[in-house]
Structure 1
Amino acid sequence: MGGAASIKDVARAAGVSVGTVSNVINRPETVGEGTRARVRAAIEQLGYVRDESARQLRSGSSRIIGLLVLDLGNPFFVSLARGAEQAARAAGLGVMVCNSAQQLADEADYLALFAEQRVRGVLLTPADAEGSGAAALRRGGVPFVLVDRLAPGLEACSVSVDDVGGGALAAGHLLESGHRRIAFVGGRHRLQQVADRRR
């Protein structure tokens, strides 16, 4: 037998129907233990791997969530990706992580890729303050949540930090401790988060 094993090959090897193999893969609790073991042994023996692109065509969506961040060199976004991956895995999904490097053109390319892959949804830290990429997702019917950013004029769900409040708490703590000469060290001021913390 040449090439990759098909679901029909697995069914033939296990002596069951294609539907039974599909049930073992997708709804194993609906198949008896002995049959399940036979099918899994055939899958292992043949090296069968599910054709995800065919499944996507049938269902209209993938088992992937897109995560597009501004800077994968930033430990904040690495932690964010790790948390998203853990939550996705618990739901039986995977995460495709991409880095826009704060470039609008890169952001647009990755969002187009997510749409082509029919991702289940997108977690997005937009490269522009207006959230034009998020607006494109909405037009395409792709669910999304903004992460660590708000986009004025774009009504959307978001998970973000109150950077103004955080900066005020930090400065207030220093002032209450008697400090009067306070320095602010941050990144580029064109980033909204940095500007908010400084404010």
Structure 2
Amino acid sequence: MKDMFPGVAFRDKAVPPAKAARDVRLRARSRSTPCLVHRAPDGQTPLFSVEFVRPGHSDRWPGRPEPEDTYFRMGLDATADEDSAFIGFSCGKGVKRNGPPVVWGFFVMTAEGKALAKPPEKAAKGRAPMAVLHSATRSMARTLGCQEESGLPERVPEPSPHDTYREPPSVESLYDEFTREWKADGKVPGGAP
């Protein structure tokens, strides 16, 4: 973060990982903001946040990366630009029922954060937001118990060319597949559409 905000002192307001994971497990469209970073010493100027969301059955993925976005082949989908990042990952073991077996992670820089952030070099665009989100997302996947199925490598991979983009399966199809697996195991997931 120091590379992103050189010379800026900051404080984070972090939620314990177990509470953040519990909030995400609850149901489809539940949200958890485990990290909100503020400028110090006032502690009132937010710089950026990290948020996790359980998509609903009919929610759609953000879509193909824009030409100015940086694409990363990890999880189900991962893109970033100079002030935001997104990672979607599988988490059937961790979220168990009550919605699709998917968690979406977002890094969003505020207007104040954008004003204070050092503009990235062209080759590094999106790397700093993705590094912060990747770290938080791996922690969330580990806490939820789905790190293995998440498809998140230990380190952020090198960006991938846009022509290698792989569209993730629809959230609805992932839920349908998850439901079939649960029924085959004699269980009935909750939160059916």
Relative to the length of structure 2, the TM-score reads 0.26
Q: Which has the higher strand share?
A: 2
The answer to which structure, 1 or 2, has the higher relative contact order (CA under 8 A, 6+ apart) is 2
Q: Which has the higher helix share?
A: 1
Which has the larger Rg? Answer: 1
